[in-house]
Amino acid sequence: MSDNTLRVYKVSVASSNDEFMEDPELVHVWTLGQYSMDGTGAGWSLRGNKVPFLVGLGELAVDFDFGLAVMAMSDIFGCDEEQENSGDESKTKLVWPVIVLRGNGDICYLNTSVTSTQKPKFEGPLPMYPSADDNYGVEACSILVLETVPSVIVLATSSGTLYHSVLLEIEQSEKSVIPNAYHALYVMECVELELGINLNDDDSAYTCPVVLHKDPVCRWKYYSTHNTGIHAVSLSFVSHIENFFDNPSPENFRFDHPSTVEYLVCTRTNSTPVLPVLGFTLIVSTNTILSLLANGDVISLPLKISENLIHPDLLPEEVVSEESTPMKKLLQEPFVVHIRSILKRNINQPLMKLDKNVNLSPQESLDLISRTTNILRKEYFEKFQLVRDETEQRVMALRALLGLHMDELNQLDNEKTQLQAMAEKLAEKYEEITEKQLVLNQRIEKVVSTVLQLEPIESLAERKMKNEIVAVEGKVSYFEKSISRLKKQMEYQKYKKAERIRDKQRRIQLGGNQVEMIKTNLNKTSQEIADLVKVINSMKQQLNISDA
């Protein structure tokens, strides 16, 4: 990145030692603002003055960092001619946000995609809340995006001030005073770094560039290197923000503990020249820091899992905040958490690494030793004594609690003996009840057997006769319905016969075929009636039914 322009190159790696690596290929050029017209790369220049105009206003990009990949609509890119002609609808694609920092503290946002040939839209400067008159420092020098959700952005200034902010999208209902801004930064806290050790109070404030480095293991930690040494910073509010996003309620978002800063390596005092840190890396396998100083020395510093830098999610479960007595708090709170809270240091003693050619005066050496002694006495030895007192108090409380538990055990043994005696009595009663139940079952079986013997039982012939009678009754009912139907038919025939007689009287002559058909039907009906009468008479004789 230079000249307010971010360039992306494609580098091909040689497959073998014999092959030479090709020259990098320029793939993308993304503009981050105004750029110089004279080709110097410093910005717009005033006539007759060599001071760059953009540098003087602080509008030149000084640092950038990539955020976590997000899915965004394709309309975040400018449309080229091919897309305009095709008329394709907007679709989501994977993009990599680039957070750009300018010298005046402005932070800009740029969604980039290596596979897209379209020009991304430049967003910014982003609004920062709560707003500040100095825009949170006009000497911004470095920016870092932590791999958290939501993204936490760290802004560093040359005065040693660090600003921790959260990047969030602006809702459509809210209108920003800055046009084309879809994101906003919410500053959570401000951290002041100690740039070197001041052996007296008259030393003026020291400023130098601060470079930020991510921790490859802990996403809530980062390191800062500068001309006066190395700092380690741990953010405590990351877990609270993540819990709040999982369950948005006021109880889940608490900002009780500020971030912790630990001075690891110091390379400068107020009377010694600076010894900048030129290189920094962290070996994950051994948890060791390697740093290269300006004099050529390499520092290897093994890191300890400090209680100050442990993330809250790795601690035991939180303790209930409402404790009635100190003893209750002592017994409910995990002892490890209590000891860590006591051993938490406000000031730590860094590793001193000054230039070998520097000779401190006796007074400066005495001041440095006195300062180190005071820190060790107040931040280490006194707290170790407090830990000892707390441990003794804990032992006394546990012994008293052990006595109470022993008394409860004795009481439980007595209750156990009483329960055993009661259980024996209940077992005897259960056996008696079981015997009585067997006797009652036998008596019930005898009564049931007697009742079954006295109950009248139908024989097989009687059951067969009963079934036949039921069948005959069904047939009789059917025949009665048939006779009724035939009687109605006879009445109908009589009615028809009378009607025919009346027709004859009216001298209406019937044809020969009609007369024959009527005679045939009458004879057939008479025959059916005679047959039914015979069947009914036969059934009555079988059933011994006489005419009423």
pLDDT for 115: 76
What pTM does this model have?
0.59
CA 330 to chain centre: 33
Compute the average pLDDT of residues 478-501. 88
The per-residue pLDDT for range 255-312, each reduced to its tens digit, is 667 888 888 888 888 777 888 999 999 998 888 899 999 888 898 988 865 543 445 4
Percentage of residues of the chain with pLDDT beyond 90: 17
User: How many residues in the chain?
Assistant: 548
Q: To which H or E segment does residue 444 belong?
A: helix 382-454
- End-to-end, the C-alpha distance of the chain in Å comes to 126
Q: What is the CA radius of gyration of the chain?
A: 52
Average pLDDT, the chain: 78
The confidence band for 436, taking pLDDT boundaries of 50, 70 and 90, is: very high
- DSSP annotation of 269 reads B
Per-residue pLDDT averaged across 135-153, rounded? 86
- pLDDT score at 318: 43
Q: In sequence order, which ranges of 333-381 are alpha helices (DSSP H)?
A: 335-343, 362-376
Instruction: State yes or no: pLDDT of 397 exceeds 60.
Output: yes
List the single range of 29-38, 361-370, 477-486 with lowest mean pLDDT: 29-38
- Mean of the pLDDT values across residues 154-179? 80
- Looking at residue 381, the DSSP 8-state letter turns out to be I
The lowest-confidence range among 42-51, 73-82, 142-151 is: 42-51
Question: How far apart are alpha carbons 365 and 271 in whole angstroms?
Answer: 11
Mean pLDDT score, 405-420: 93
230-243 pLDDT, tens digit each: 999 988 888 878 77
- Pick from 267-271, 506-510, 539-543: least confident: 506-510
- Which residue would you say has higher pLDDT here, 402 or 76? 402
Query: Crossing angle, helix 382-454 and helix 335-343, to 10 degrees?
Result: 160
